[in-house]
Structure 1
Amino acid sequence: MPYWAYITLIVLASYIVLSVLLYFLQDYIMFKPEKLPKDFLFHYDNQEIEEYNVETRDGAVINGLHFKTKNPKGIVFYLKGNSKSIKGWGKFAVDFTRHGYDVVMVDYRGFGKSTGRRTQKAVKRDLQIVYNQIKENVSEKYIILYGRSLGSGFATKLASMNNPRMLILDAPYYSLTKMAKKYIPFMPLSLLVKFPMPTYKWLQYVQCPVHIIHGTDDKLIPYKTSVKLSKIKPKLSRLYTVIGGGHKNLNTFESYHKMLDEIINTKPKPTDLKGSSMVPKKLQEKE
């Protein structure tokens, strides 16, 4: 066998082995779940919570928490990131309950007390079931979808299929496939990635206001990602920039909390552009 053919076979074999490993190991690379015993008791200081379980048609159980307030203004369906469980993520509910909003959080399949085989289709279906249950008790005009990192894609998908009051994306990605190409551009990721999560495609069908929050020093998901996403539905979207913010520390910035306060508590009002530099002079004269 010629030397070049021998080298070609080695490269081809290595490529195939790497592809197979990537396909079967990506779940362990992408998700960092924390599993909790069935008898684990959730507790958060100064928070009223109710734990619940949702059974799915394929026999899985989705575990969640409902953080309650008196006379709530609305409810925030908070979709968390790819690590830990709602045991730790629950601490962020206070950022909404202190403003008078209830919060619902759930663990994805395989996280916390939730069970079931995790696929993109299954998780989307689970979250729609939870959304439907929220909708049975609360009008959609009072439902806010909040997606953090991994949860931003799922939140966008939900918003594209429903009519919530607004969609808030915290450190969102354009798509997980495109994000992975940044690290392994030579792999056929469109065929290998089980969770492509094309946020940019789903965002095209969202009809509610979209608020995007991102830190300028995010090393995992670059700030420019949110700039690109904000251009997909420019009339509905607004980009909020946390100067110096990273991927996991936005809640430590005062500016983040000011932004959140403005987003969820300020009623939108139309801007009168008459007399501004945006309105052509000839049009102003006609008026």
Structure 2
Amino acid sequence: MEFWLYLLIALVVALALGNFFTMVIQDFFIFRPERLREDYSYVFEKPYEELFIQSPDKGRLNALWFRQDQRPKTRGVILYCHGNRGSLRRWGHLHYFFARLGYDFFTYDYRGFGKSRGRRTESILYEDARAVYDFVRAHYPPEQIVIFGRSMGSAFASWLAGRVEARLLILETPFASMRRVFRAYFPFMPPVFRYKYLFPNHRWLRSVSIPVYIFQGDEDLVVPFRVAAALKPVLKPGDRFFRIEGGSHNDLLYYDKYLVEMEKILGAPLTQKNEQAQ
């Protein structure tokens, strides 16, 4: 009798510790921000407008807006939800890649990143994405808005694309859910453990009616290929999943297949490879 009692106690303790572990480490595991002073000045190759967008629950989101300066008419705008590291100081450099495709570039920092401030929860992060979209929508028609999600940002992009009007959705190095990512890193963890952030892309994509294009490297060590490939079953007819052979998490921009397919999707030629944000 004592054996079963001790076993039950051990299981309860293990479950409690496991839940504590998954809840506590998620913020560190997922979010790797760079904080910037309010008076920090960004330096980029092209002119930009810096602005702050007010969001629910006292959110204040720092954003950058790069617009075409030599074209009489832009092809549209890339609304870019970036990855889990750094700040706009890093991600803003991607404006150059999309400018060569003829697009304006709009990106923002999540709460706790760069100059953005506010309490962070999963639901609030989604609402922040909606607030950013509303600003962009006030300046561009839906048929000119391309929603782009990179890694962690794929969750906000997928959620947003299922609720607003836009031209298409592009996801780079996405994941099916944060639960699957954790299981890939910690396969010994029982599936009953709780998660503070779920980011269920596989659920959000079911509600997306616009075209979806996914790019994933098959040697990605951050988001294992199988975790991204788990999104394939929820794609609708006409959506595409591009496997970049040899590609890892941060270098897809250097692969010809990525460039060629991006040209087709966005409708403009890339004459040579471009530099990725460092």
Coarse TM-score class (shorter-chain normalised)? 0.7 to 0.9
The alignment status of 1:217 with 2:219, answered yes or no, reads yes
Task: Name the structure, 1 or 2, with higher relative contact order (CA <8 Å, separation 6+).
Answer: 2
One-letter code aligned to 1:139: P
Normalising by structure 2, what TM-score?
0.88
Provide TM-score, normalisation by structure 1: 0.85
Aligned ranges 1:45-60 → 2 under 5 Å: 45=45, 47-60=46-59
Which residue number in structure 2 is paired with residue 36 of structure 1? 36
Q: CA deviation at 1:165?
A: 0.4
- Structure 2 vs 1, CA of residues 163 and 191 (structure 1 numbering), >3 Å: closer, same or farther? farther
Looking at structure 1, the residues matched to 21 and 237 of structure 2 have their Cα atoms a distance apart, in angstroms, of 43
**Contact 1:211–1:238 at 8 Å: present in 2 too?**
yes
| CA displacement 1:116-136 (0-9 Å, x = unmatched) | 111111011011011011111
Say which is worse superposed, 90-99 or 6-15, in terms of deviation. Answer: 6-15
Query: Equivalents in 2 of 1:192, 1:224: separation in Å?
Result: 22
In the TM superposition, 1:87-236 aligns within 5 A as 87-185=89-187, 187=189, 192-236=194-238
Q: Give the secondary-structure state (helix, strand or coil) at the position aligned to 1:118.
A: coil
Matching residue's letter, 1:196: L
Instruction: Indicate if the aligned counterparts of 1:48 and 1:69 stay in contact, CA closer than 8 A.
Output: no
Q: How does 1:7-26 map to 2 (within 5 A)?
A: 9-10=9-10, 12-26=12-26
Q: How far apart, CA to CA, are the structure 2 residues paired with 1:139 and 1:38?
A: 32
Separation (CA, whole Å) in 2 of partners of 1:252 and 1:182: 26
- Three-state SS of the structure 1 residue aligned to 2:126 is helix
The question of whether the paired residues in 1 share the 8 Å contact of 2:170 and 2:212 is answered with: yes
Amino acid corresponding to residue 89 of structure 2 in structure 1: K
Deviation at residue 74 of structure 1 after TM alignment: 0.2
Q: Distance in 2 between matches of 1:82 and 1:17?
A: 26
Which sits farther off after the overlay, 71-80 or 15-24?
A: 15-24
- 3-state SS of 2:185 partner: coil
Amino acid in the other structure paired with 1:248: N
Greater Cα shift, 34-43 or 64-73: 64-73
Structure 2 counterpart of 1:253, from 252, 255, 263 = 255
**Which 5+ residue runs of structure 1 have no aligned equivalent?**
267-287
- Structure 2: how far apart are the matches of 1:13 and 1:188? 13
Root-mean-square deviation over aligned CA pairs: 2.0
Provide, for residues 74-120 of structure 1, a one-character-per-residue CA deviation record: whole Å limited to 9, x for no partner.
00001111111111111222111111100111000100000011111
Unmatched segments (≥5 aa) in structure 2: 269-278
What is the aligned length? 265
Shift of the alpha carbon at 1:191? 5.8
The separation in 1 between residues aligned to 2:7 and 2:227, in whole angstroms, is 39
